[in-house]
A and B are shown apart, each in its own frame.
Chain A
Amino acid sequence: MNPVRAITGTMVPLDRADVDTDQIIPQQFLKRIERDGYGDFLFYNWAHTDDGTPSSDFIINSPDRRGAKVLVAGPNFGCGSSREHAPWAIQQWGFDAVITPSAADIFRNNSSFTGLLIVELPAEAVGRLMDVAADPAAVVTIDLETQTVAADGIEEHFDFDPTAKERLLQGLDGIGVTMTHDDVIASHEASRPSWLPTSVG
């Protein structure tokens, strides 16, 4: 994973609550065995008409939103299914961050592994940001180190889990870090009761 320090870019506002991961990436795309190539399928059902042509009135299809880096969304973003394909699609479309009043647990977690930055701000601040984001050219800067979001007339601090922050700032590979604890894992393993189930009976 590439280190994440600061993100500067234009925005796409999606002023809806409870955007679930079925909307972010519908089920047919979960049949793929690849990790990449999901960008074209982001919000597929909202972004395409029944016959598969891109829908001109869905915001991510607007030419002036191309290249946007930050998705500004309503509360409970990413609820529902645990499909990690959801943050993949968001990131592969081109977004580096999502700003929302609240992200669903599994989605927030999954995003941290791909380096998609999830920033939670109070609903009122997100509302103001939505207004700014109405202008396709408006720029927002998110600084992970200082934990601040800055845009036209807006300066907000956000909370962020310190461990996830370190991991993102350094672009750390999860498994490698975990394996530095191999000896404690092994000693825990050795102390597990023998009656616990195994697949070999």
Chain B
Amino acid sequence: MSTPRTLFEKVWDSHVVVDSDPALLYVDLHLVHEVTSPQAFAGLTASGRTVRRPDLTVATVDHGIPTTGRSLGIRDPLSKKQVDALIQNCRDQGITMFGIDDPRQGIVHVVGPEQGLTQPGLLIVCGDSHTSTHGAFGALAFGIGTTEVEHVLATQTIWQARPQTMAVEVEGTLPWGVAAKDLILGIIAQIGVSGGTRHVIEYRGQAIRDLSMEQRMTICNMSIEGGARAGMIAPDETTIRYVEGRPFAPKGTDWDAAVAAWESLATDPGAGFDKVEVLDAGALVPHVSWGVNPAQTVPVTGHVPSPDSYSDPQQREAAVRALEYMALRPGTAIADINIDHVFLGSCTNGRIEDLRAAAKVVEGRKVDDRVNAVVVPGSMQVKAQAEAEGLSDIFERAGFSWRDAGCSSCLAMNPDVIPSGDRCASTSNRNYEGRQGRGARTHLVSPAMAAAAAVSGHFVDVREWQLS
């Protein structure tokens, strides 16, 4: 009888090519976008190398591309150069690329899963920290830097120090009006922004099993915000049903073989973790971030905290600076904070279920006069589906601007920059200083909460709204 292993250990073990420390692991899927790849391709060519496995490499454009006026071309000369470089590099190396005119184009971590490229048990890397998203399928997926991108292009392998494991057990049921976004914000609030450092988190428990694939992706997406190397959720029936029939999913006898392999991945009974955290989903409420990192959150029913509530002097000082940057006073009710912008999108919450949740809140209502509200679907496929479902009509009638797919305001590398001093209710994953534009003030929320804020002009507890 072999030792019980966790999901992480099973996936890790099956990818070890050289069993040293760090180990050399084989990469099943290398996702590429235009921002972290130019120097990698240039380095590859300069050293006379070529891509080892173009057939295991897929590229898209997402970070710097415009979400509007695309027929006019990419107007920012630097972004255009980056995209042109990726087009040329993919052409030279024979890599499949979903370019700006491709109906499959979108945010890389939305595209991989919806195309069926992301599958259980795979080792997936990308030059982007939110690669952890794909862990929702029971894949081991993590972000890498440009030098490692070059290494993977050249060798299809990556050296990794073996991380430790953390189980985050979530029991109970998510209350109505509390989203997966609130769950992961709750987890980060509990473990802290560095609680997961050097660990891979496995999210377990009934509340996790009850989540849809898109909700699982939201959770795994923000694992990095808790400092973790990666986040994983064991594949199950929900996973299998999601992957089945997608363009790059296995078919026929391959499908049967794949499913059999996937069904053996879940953590064995008795397998241990280096750390365990426990949460009660039933105790969660909709959260809003007030500060400048994803752990600085409070319930929407709460108030901006006082720095004095922190015992650690460094945290206290950080809170003082955060309040100054965010122009907030301790004690202010979250519901009293007015907003200027709403951004619905990102690899965290830019999928069809997120848009449905927001549309439900918005339907028949209008965006507040003072608010500039924008919806950026996570991919052009999500966009098309939303249009077919009539969601885009709902958003546009309400006064949202309906855009093409890309990372957009999440990190404001494209023209969708939030002006300095403005407040943005955002469904993205980071509220760092300047993230959405120099001086921009980001408040992280779930899609339903962002939609409600768009209509009210300030934060509201979406649970109190009568939704059919």
Residues of B within 8 A of A75 (CB): 194, 314
The answer on a CB contact under 8 Å between B18 and A197 is: no
8 sampled A-B residue pairs with Cβ under 8 A = A26-B438, A30-B413, A31-B413, A81-B411, A82-B144, A110-B148, A197-B119, A199-B56
Residues of A within 8 A of B257 (CB): 193, 195
- Is B35 an interface position by the 8 A CB rule? yes
The answer on a CB contact under 8 Å between A45 and B434 is: yes
The answer on a CB contact under 8 Å between B194 and A104 is: yes
Residues of A within 8 A of B143 (CB): 82, 106
The answer on a CB contact under 8 Å between B55 and A199 is: yes
Total interface residues in chain A, CB < 8 Å: 58
Stretch from A10-18, A137-145, A150-158 at the B interface: A10-18
Residues of A within 8 A of B413 (CB): 27-28, 30-31
Q: Which single residue of chain B is at the shortest CB-CB distance from A26?
A: B434
Residues of A within 8 A of B435 (CB): 22, 27
The answer on a CB contact under 8 Å between B145 and A83 is: yes
Residues of A within 8 A of B439 (CB): 50
Q: Give Cα A26 to B437, complex, Å.
A: 9
Q: Which single residue of chain A is at the shortest CB-CB distance from B143?
A: A82
Q: Which single residue of chain B is at the shortest CB-CB distance from A167?
A: B159
- Is A57 an interface position by the 8 A CB rule? no
Q: Which of A69-100 contact B (CB under 8 A)?
A: 74-76, 79-85, 87
Q: Give Cα A30 to B96, complex, Å.
A: 23
The answer on a CB contact under 8 Å between B147 and A31 is: no
Q: Known A15-B314, A105-B197, A197-B116; judge A80-B432 contact (CB<8 A).
A: yes
- Is B267 an interface position by the 8 A CB rule? no
Q: Give Cα A47 to B377, complex, Å.
A: 35
The answer on a CB contact under 8 Å between B39 and A199 is: no
Q: How far is the CB of A131 from the nearest CB of chain B, in Å?
A: 14
Binding site for B on A (CB under 8 A): 15-18, 20, 22-23, 26-28, 30-35, 45, 50, 74-76, 79-85, 87, 102, 104-106, 109-110, 113-114, 161, 163, 174-175, 178-179, 181, 184-185, 188-189, 192-201
Sorted nearest first, the 4 A-B pairs with minimum C-beta distance are A84-B145, A195-B254, A110-B145, A31-B78
Residues of A within 8 A of B79 (CB): 31
The answer on a CB contact under 8 Å between A18 and B194 is: yes
Q: How far is the CB of B451 from the nearest CB of chain A, in Å?
A: 26
- Is B106 an interface position by the 8 A CB rule? no
The answer on a CB contact under 8 Å between B148 and A113 is: yes
Residues of B within 8 A of A194 (CB): 254
Q: Known A105-B198, A175-B47, A199-B54; judge A23-B432 contact (CB<8 A).
A: yes
Q: Give Cα A22 to B434, complex, Å.
A: 8
Residues of B within 8 A of A104 (CB): 194, 197, 227
- Is B151 an interface position by the 8 A CB rule? yes
Given A34-B39, A195-B258, A197-B117, 19 more pairs with CB closer than 8 A: A16-B314, A23-B432, A31-B82, A33-B38, A76-B193, A79-B193, A79-B194, A79-B293, A81-B411, A82-B36, A83-B145, A84-B36, A84-B145, A106-B129, A106-B224, A161-B161, A175-B151, A197-B250, A199-B117
The answer on a CB contact under 8 Å between A81 and B122 is: no
Residues of A within 8 A of B273 (CB): none
Q: How far is the CB of A121 from the nearest CB of chain B, in Å?
A: 15
- Is B21 an interface position by the 8 A CB rule? yes
Task: Please tell me which one of the listed residues B22, B78, B129, B318 contacts residue A16 in the complex, with CB atoms under 8 A apart.
Answer: B318
The answer on a CB contact under 8 Å between B411 and A178 is: no
Q: Give Cα A188 to B17, complex, Å.
A: 6
Task: Please tell me which one of the listed residues B58, B159, B261 contacts residue A174 in the complex, with CB atoms under 8 A apart.
Answer: B159
Q: Known A110-B145, A175-B150, A185-B157; judge A105-B128 contact (CB<8 A).
A: no
Q: How far is the CB of A19 from the nearest CB of chain B, in Å?
A: 10
Residues of B within 8 A of A163 (CB): 20-22, 159
- Is B287 an interface position by the 8 A CB rule? no
Q: Give Cα A195 to B248, complex, Å.
A: 10
Q: Give Cα A81 to B347, complex, Å.
A: 13
Q: Give Cα A200 to B57, complex, Å.
A: 10
Stretch from B23-31, B201-209, B233-241 at the A interface: B23-31
Q: Known A17-B314, A178-B157, A181-B24; judge A82-B248 contact (CB<8 A).
A: no
The answer on a CB contact under 8 Å between B318 and A17 is: yes
Residues of A within 8 A of B229 (CB): 105
Q: Give Cα A15 to B318, complex, Å.
A: 10
Task: Please tell me which one of the listed residues B35, B55, B293 contacts residue A200 in the complex, with CB atoms under 8 A apart.
Answer: B55
Per-residue A-contact encoding for B180-222, CB less than 8 Å = 1, 0 else: 0000000000000110011000000000000000000000000
- Is B266 an interface position by the 8 A CB rule? no
- Is B64 an interface position by the 8 A CB rule? yes
- Is B443 an interface position by the 8 A CB rule? no
Per-residue A-contact encoding for B242-282, CB less than 8 Å = 1, 0 else: 00000111100011011001000000000000000000000
Residues of A within 8 A of B317 (CB): 16
Q: Which of B21, B47, B227 has the most CB atoms of chain A within a 10 A radius of its CB?
A: B227
- Is B156 an interface position by the 8 A CB rule? yes
Q: How far is the CB of B249 from the nearest CB of chain A, in Å?
A: 7
Q: Give Cα A104 to B197, complex, Å.
A: 7
Q: Which single residue of chain A is at the shortest CB-CB distance from B22?
A: A163
Q: Give Cα A160 to B55, complex, Å.
A: 37
Task: Please tell me which one of the listed residues B255, B318, B430 contacts residue A22 in the complex, with CB atoms under 8 A apart.
Answer: B430
Q: Which single residue of chain A is at the shortest CB-CB distance from B430?
A: A80
